A and B are shown apart, each in its own frame.
Chain A
Amino acid sequence: MSWQAAAWLMLGGSTALLFLGLPVALSFLVINLVGALLFLGGEAGLTQFARNSVGSVASFSLTPIPLFILMGEVLFHTGLAVKVIDGVERLIRQVPGRLAVVAVVAGTVFSAISGSTIATTAMLGSLMLPVMLARGYHPTMATGPLMAIGAVDMLIPPSALTVLLGSLSGISIAGLLIGGVVPGLVLSLAFVIYIIARVKLNPSLAPKTAFTEYQGWQKLRPFVQYVIPLVSIFAVVVASMSAGWATPTESAAIGAFFTMLLAALYGALSVKNLVAALRGTAAISGMILFIIVGATTFSQILSFSGASNGLVELISSLGLSPLAVLAAMMLLLIFLGLFVEQVSMMMITLPIYMPLVAKYGFDPVWFGVMFLICMQLGLLLPPHGLLLMTMKGVAPPQVRMGHIFQAVLPYIAMSLLVLALVFFVPAVALWLPKALL
């Protein structure tokens, strides 16, 4: 079979099955069965495929996935997540669009202790959206910052999807985790500046309302009592990784353990909420890991069939400059983000993208951070962006889908600008990993 036919079968077949509605993991497994039969030597190939399935997830580099998810789940189920908002709110003085600014800052802090974008958006949306709307905030000013900062969660470690990207692509997981920090913080800062500027230009978007200004210790108490200890988990994770005491995998376990320990010290951890957190962790990590079972063999068969090489050679023969190829890769990712969720985006593109990264000599961490920004964009792109749906799910009925689409547009523009910034100034993504690792 020609490589073109193999590529159509493997890439086209899996995409068709995905859009038919077959679960992502099974879409890859079905195509793997066909691929193993055709390219791995018939029945022997099918038996080998079953054997490969075990090896695909029995990998130490994947253990941070459940462990990072566990950190976020413990914080939600013990109620500690809510304390972060309180701690941040008391510190922020009267600025235009104050509550939206509070949401962005609290969301950034929360990103550093949770690895789930949906959970962050849902929590901020359910807690802060009703308050903002009640104080006269326009629905676009109330919902936009919450969705945008939820998406940033993917860039700031801990992030389970970053670990998955590193594991599937062979890019340094520690490099990716640390490489996402600066672009994530740049985005958060851009959001704050945008909110303040927008409300200054049009104060009716976020009317100035009275709030209790605490003084002295009362102002600092929730920040010192909750935010600093919780953020110290982030410091422990990054420090243990960069000091060489623990591998990225082991630092995830340390982070999860410290989260449980802190929750216990606050008296917030019970058997009931620990089991709830573990169930949530088992569900999210189980679905990600099951996809990996199919995806790993998929990449192997794609490579074995000659399709990967054929596609790479075809792209190379077009005579495009390396940066044009890279730009086309990012545009394709953004396009995929319109329809496909993040794990599938990785599965479909990485088997072709990584040989191109090697061929053109792109820095893998630089490439990986841009990949993460494109996936983060995918969460926000209308009409199917996942965080748009999450926001609609927690918003009161007066917030219409049109408000949500309109609200997210400036934040999409800012994310595209940051993507362009990382594209043209790689140091934005690379200097921190180089300094720490």
Chain B
Amino acid sequence: MQRLENAYGRLLEVLALAGCALIFGMTLMICADVLLRNVRIVPGMVGLEWANEISEGMLYLVTVLTAPWLMRQGQHIRVDILLRAVPKPLGWAMEWVVDVLALACCAAITYYGARAALASWKAGSMSIKTLITPEWWLLSVLPVAFLALTIEMLFRMRRLWLGPRAPRDDAVSTG
């Protein structure tokens, strides 16, 4: 089981690195758009008109690709005042309540996200902005990401079971 958990952690690392590459790519793309729009260095080319729309998609992908990795790192911020105030065994018990709620939430969003993507695919819904793309392309990433989160929640509960009988030291701010 430990090897499986480690291997899954490496997969989450790869997803996070993809998120990093998207942020870097987004920076360069938006700059290229501004440059081409204000300084006409390429004749006949007035900016990258699709840059905004692609950036929006990239931002969404960064969010969902990094979410399971952040869960592994314990970096999804939370308020831990009460957890720290109560006796450690009670704090540990509260962690279980929280984990069960989180697991159920992630599983439910996986299910309903998949239904939304499937319905969109069946209906042939299109996203019509500057680019015309099938709506399910972005919708389908949501259930995949939440499935990854659901699996990570199971590993997180395993770590809670094997760890000390006390609350975790997760992040408490974005800074």
B157 at the interface (CB under 8 A from A): no
> Are A58 and B138 also in contact (CB < 8 A) when A33-B109, A256-B27 are?
yes
Write the chain A residue with the least CB distance to B141. Answer: A54
Q: Would you list which residues of chain A between 93 and 145 have a CB under 8 Å from chain B?
A: 116-119
Count of residues in B whose CB is under 8 Å from the partner chain: 67
Which A residues are CB-close (under 8 A) to B143? 50
Which A residues are CB-close (under 8 A) to B75? 283, 287
Write the chain B residue with the least CB distance to A28. Answer: B105
A407 at the interface (CB under 8 A from B): no
Q: Distance in Å from the Cβ of B112 to the closest Cβ of chain A?
A: 4
Q: State A284–B23 Cα separation when bound (angstroms).
A: 12
Which A residues are CB-close (under 8 A) to B70? 283, 286-287, 290
Is A30 within 8 A of B101, CB to CB? yes
Residue from B38, B78, B98, B120 whose CB has the most chain A CB atoms within 10 Å: B78
Is A19 within 8 A of B81, CB to CB? yes
Q: Distance in Å from the Cβ of B123 to the closest Cβ of chain A?
A: 12
Is A50 within 8 A of B97, CB to CB? no
Q: Would you list which residues of chain B between 1 and 57 have a CB under 8 Å from chain A?
A: 16-17, 19-21, 23-24, 26-28, 30-31, 33-34, 38, 52, 55-57
Which B residues are CB-close (under 8 A) to A21? 78-80, 82-83, 91, 94-95, 98, 167
Is A24 within 8 A of B112, CB to CB? no
> Are A24 and B76 also in contact (CB < 8 A) when A60-B52, A62-B59, A386-B173 are?
yes
A295 at the interface (CB under 8 A from B): no
Q: State A244–B24 Cα separation when bound (angstroms).
A: 24
Q: Distance in Å from the Cβ of A16 to the closest Cβ of chain B?
A: 10
Is B20 within 8 A of A278, CB to CB? yes
Residue from A26, A246, A281 whose CB has the most chain B CB atoms within 10 Å: A26
Residue from A283, A286, A288 whose CB has the most chain B CB atoms within 10 Å: A286
Is B38 within 8 A of A245, CB to CB? yes
Which A residues are CB-close (under 8 A) to B105? 26, 29-30, 33
How would residues 277 to 299 of chain A score, 1 for a CB under 8 Å from any chain B CB and 0 otherwise?
A: 01101111111111111000000
> Are A286 and B67 also in contact (CB < 8 A) when A58-B56, A60-B55, A343-B174 are?
yes
Count of residues in A whose CB is under 8 Å from the partner chain: 73
Residue from A240, A249, A287 whose CB has the most chain B CB atoms within 10 Å: A287
> Are A384 and B175 also in contact (CB < 8 A) when A50-B113, A293-B63 are?
no
Q: Distance in Å from the Cβ of A270 to the closest Cβ of chain B?
A: 14
Write the chain A residue with the least CB distance to B138. Answer: A54
Write the chain A residue with the least CB distance to B108. Answer: A33
A344 at the interface (CB under 8 A from B): yes
Is A23 within 8 A of B34, CB to CB? no
B131 at the interface (CB under 8 A from A): no
Q: Would you list which residues of chain A between 268 and 282 have a CB under 8 Å from chain B?
A: 274-275, 278-279, 281-282
A63 at the interface (CB under 8 A from B): yes
Which A residues are CB-close (under 8 A) to B173? 118, 341-342, 386
Which A residues are CB-close (under 8 A) to B78? 18, 21-24, 27
A371 at the interface (CB under 8 A from B): no
Which A residues are CB-close (under 8 A) to B20? 275, 278-279, 281-282
> Are A50 and B116 also in contact (CB < 8 A) when A289-B63, A343-B77 are?
yes
Q: Distance in Å from the Cβ of A280 to the closest Cβ of chain B?
A: 9
Which A residues are CB-close (under 8 A) to B69? 286
A47 at the interface (CB under 8 A from B): yes
Q: Distance in Å from the Cβ of B73 to the closest Cβ of chain A?
A: 7
Q: Would you list which residues of chain A between 222 and 264 have a CB under 8 Å from chain B?
A: 240, 245-246, 249-250, 253-254, 256-257, 260
> Are A57 and B60 also in contact (CB < 8 A) when A26-B102, A253-B30, A283-B70 are?
yes
> Are A23 and B170 also in contact (CB < 8 A) when A60-B55, A117-B175, A290-B63 are?
yes
Q: Would you list which residues of chain A between 378 and 428 have a CB under 8 Å from chain B?
A: 384, 386
User: Can you identify 26 A-B contacts, CB atoms within 8 angstroms?
Assistant: A19-B81, A20-B94, A20-B97, A21-B98, A22-B101, A23-B170, A26-B106, A29-B105, A33-B108, A46-B108, A48-B116, A63-B30, A66-B62, A70-B23, A160-B174, A253-B26, A254-B31, A257-B31, A278-B20, A281-B23, A283-B70, A283-B73, A289-B63, A292-B63, A341-B172, A341-B174
**3 tightest A-B contacts by CB?**
A286-B66, A118-B175, A253-B30
**Residues of A that sit less than 8 Å from B by CB:** 17-27, 29-30, 33, 43, 46-51, 53-54, 57-60, 62-63, 66-67, 70, 116-119, 160-161, 240, 245-246, 249-250, 253-254, 256-257, 260, 274-275, 278-279, 281-293, 339-344, 384, 386
Q: A62-B59, A342-B174 are in contact. List 18 more A-B contacts (CB 8 A).
A: A24-B78, A51-B116, A54-B141, A58-B56, A58-B138, A59-B59, A63-B55, A63-B56, A117-B175, A118-B173, A254-B30, A278-B20, A282-B62, A283-B70, A286-B69, A341-B172, A341-B173, A384-B81
**Residues of B that sit less than 8 Å from A by CB:** 16-17, 19-21, 23-24, 26-28, 30-31, 33-34, 38, 52, 55-57, 59-60, 62-63, 66-67, 69-71, 73, 75-83, 91, 94-95, 97-98, 101-102, 105-106, 108-109, 112-113, 115-116, 119-120, 138-139, 141-143, 167, 170-175
